[in-house]
Amino acid sequence: MSPQWIVVIVLIAAVYFIFIKKKPAIKQNKKDSTDKKTQPQSNDMIECAECGIYCEVDDTILSNNKHYCSQECLKKA
Ligand SMILES: [Zn+2]
């Protein structure tokens, strides 16, 4: 077998490995992106118990199992 054939075989093998390794990597990236979309539940919008404005859960004040958008609404309630 001549050295040129070895180079050709190595190149073909390299191309095969790149394609075989890339496909699962793309699937994993897609799974990661979907997980990121489903994970952040803290950014869910919730209605203020007093004025009805929708706020992010992180920005609301929780009192007596009710969410309020601000201290003013909490005082009114
Ligand atoms: Zn409010």
pLDDT given at position 56: 93
pLDDT at 23: 62
pLDDT band for 2, please (50, 70, 90 cuts): confident
For ligand 1, the distance from its centroid to the CA atom of residue 60, given in whole angstroms, is: 9
Q: How much is the pTM?
A: 0.45
CA distances from 58 to 28, 47, 64 (A): 30, 12, 16
| Extents of the domains making up the chain | 1-39, 41-77
Which is higher by pLDDT, 2 or 72?
Answer: 72
- Using the mean position of ligand 1's atoms as its centre, give its distance from the Cα of residue 3 in Å: 77
For residue range 14-70, list pLDDT tens digits in order. Answer: 999 888 877 655 565 555 555 555 555 557 899 999 999 999 999 999 999 999 999
Going from the C-alpha of 67 to that of each of 8, 23, 44, 62, 64, the distances in angstroms are 67, 45, 12, 5, 8
